[in-house]
A and B are shown apart, each in its own frame.
Chain A
Amino acid sequence: MQFNEIQLDALREIGNIGAGNAATALSELIQTKVDITVPEVRVIETTKIPDMVGGPEREVVACLFGLSGGLEGAAMYVFPLEEAKYLSDRMLQQPEGTTTEMGEMEQSVIGEVGNILTGSYMTAMQGFTGIASNLSPPAVTVSQAMVIFSEASVIASTFADWTIWVETDFIVEEGHLKAYLFLLASPEAMEQVLTSLGVG
């Protein structure tokens, strides 16, 4: 499946609006002003996913969701480990630096944040296309980036050869908080999206 420029623009716009929604949601979650820079939205081949984040051995926390209903597929929300620890502290209302290990409680908290942020993008998708999808409860894991991203690639390749990737740079308390969304939808689902955007 190939996308033309008009279709890519439409997908980028969904990513932009979704990132805006996500910033608002994050701001409410951690009770702090959150800004964003313009997110980077790309459509990439699934086998290239492991190359998408610098440092293959860098530790990340990933939340994986099944998509059902309107769009069939999966979505994955990924935080670098340090960002996840920071968010865990903020969510648990404890001093920064308290979270040293991502235990069950911390992973559950990050799963919740990932759920809300992924939901923000799905809401944007619904706003543009009228297609509503349900997210399954998150499966959360902590591992090296290369392991997580190769998993994303494997999961995606069971039904697609490419993924929509959105890199969002949240600005929180003058610091940068990077997060990555991978939308792993089937070719049929993507055609449905493009058709409802009027660019199919």
Chain B
Amino acid sequence: MTMGSTVAVGMSEVKVSARAGDTLVALGLGSCIGVCLYDRRAKVAAMVHVMLPESNGRGQSPGKFADTGVPLLVETIEKAGGSKKDCLCAIGGGAEVFSFSSSTPGLAIGKRNGEAVKAALKTAGLRIMAEDLGGNVGRTVSLDVATGVVKVRPVGGQERELAKLG
């Protein structure tokens, strides 16, 4: 039996694992979004931690943006032995942690991230099984490699199962 480990998915990172026992985790998502992708046949899991909606041609860090992060996520899971047609996904994040006045920058990034991720997933032909978006508290999103179970834990709250992608 091999011991699994927690694989942290930092901001603008994409992580993939086919090791049963591993859990991919995006800690403390605020307006960021954790996009979870799981191939139920190959049992490969991947997650991208998206920060902003559109890359506007900035190509250096594709994982940072919804429109480039989702294609990168698909590419990554396919390189690791997954196949897009067998993949399901779930998404969590997109909160508005600060309540903004109209003069404050960063207005509604969480909401825009949510919309951009959904649009990118639609373009990629991926089906969203479950989502936990919006609100005003941060959350931690995890994806279990063996089972495809996606869990969400809001700051100061209880962890709950969002979806079972496997």
Q: Among the listed stretches A1-9, A60-68, A165-173, which one makes contact with chain B, having 4 or more residues with CB under 8 Å of it? A: A60-68
Please tell me the number of chain A residues within 8 Å of chain B, measured between CB atoms. 30
Contacts A47-B11, A143-B97, A155-B109; is A66 near B28 (CB within 8 Å)? no
B26-41 vs A, CB cutoff 8 Å, 1 = contact: the mask equals 0111111000000000
Q: How far is the CB of A135 from chain B (nearest CB, A)?
A: 10
Q: How far is the CB of B122 from chain A (nearest CB, A)?
A: 23
User: How many contacts A-B (CB < 8 Å)?
Assistant: 90
Q: A157 within 8 Å of B by Cβ?
A: yes
Find out whether the CB atom of B98 lies under 8 angstroms from the CB atom of A64. yes
Q: Among the listed stretches A14-22, A114-122, A144-152, which one makes contact with chain B, having 4 or more residues with CB under 8 Å of it? A: A144-152
Contacts A143-B97, A147-B155, A150-B11; is A65 near B30 (CB within 8 Å)? no
Q: B71 within 8 Å of A by Cβ?
A: no
**CA–CA, A141 and B31, complex, Å:** 14
Q: B10 within 8 Å of A by Cβ?
A: yes
Find out whether the CB atom of B155 lies under 8 angstroms from the CB atom of A136. no
Find out whether the CB atom of B98 lies under 8 angstroms from the CB atom of A141. yes
List the B side residues contacting A147 at CB < 8 Å.
28-30, 97, 137-138, 155
Q: How far is the CB of A44 from chain B (nearest CB, A)?
A: 13
Contacts A154-B52, A158-B52, A158-B109; is A136 near B101 (CB within 8 Å)? yes
Find out whether the CB atom of A153 lies under 8 angstroms from the CB atom of B138. no
Q: A73 within 8 Å of B by Cβ?
A: yes
Interface residues of A in 33-69 (CB under 8 A from B): 47, 50, 56-57, 62, 64-66, 68
Contact of B98 among A73, A139, A150 (CB under 8 A): A139
List the B side residues contacting A70 at CB < 8 Å.
none
Contacts A150-B29, A150-B32; is A74 near B105 (CB within 8 Å)? yes
Find out whether the CB atom of B105 lies under 8 angstroms from the CB atom of A144. no
Find out whether the CB atom of A66 lies under 8 angstroms from the CB atom of B51. no
List the B side residues contacting A136 at CB < 8 Å.
101, 103-104
Q: A127 within 8 Å of B by Cβ?
A: no
Q: B2 within 8 Å of A by Cβ?
A: no
List the A side residues contacting B11 at CB < 8 Å.
47, 50, 150, 153-154
Find out whether the CB atom of A50 lies under 8 angstroms from the CB atom of B28. yes
Contact of B30 among A47, A73, A154 (CB under 8 A): A154
Find out whether the CB atom of B97 lies under 8 angstroms from the CB atom of A148. yes
List the A side residues contacting B158 at CB < 8 Å.
none
Instruction: Please list the 3 inter-chain residue pairs (A to B) with the smallest Cβ-Cβ separation, ordered nearest first.
Output: A146-B28, A147-B138, A155-B106
A residues sitting closer than 8 Å to B (CB atoms) are 47, 50, 56-57, 62, 64-66, 68, 73-74, 136-137, 139-141, 143-148, 150-151, 153-155, 157-159
Query: 10 A-B pairs, CB-CB below 8 angstroms?
Result: A64-B104, A66-B103, A68-B103, A136-B103, A139-B101, A141-B97, A141-B99, A151-B30, A153-B11, A154-B30
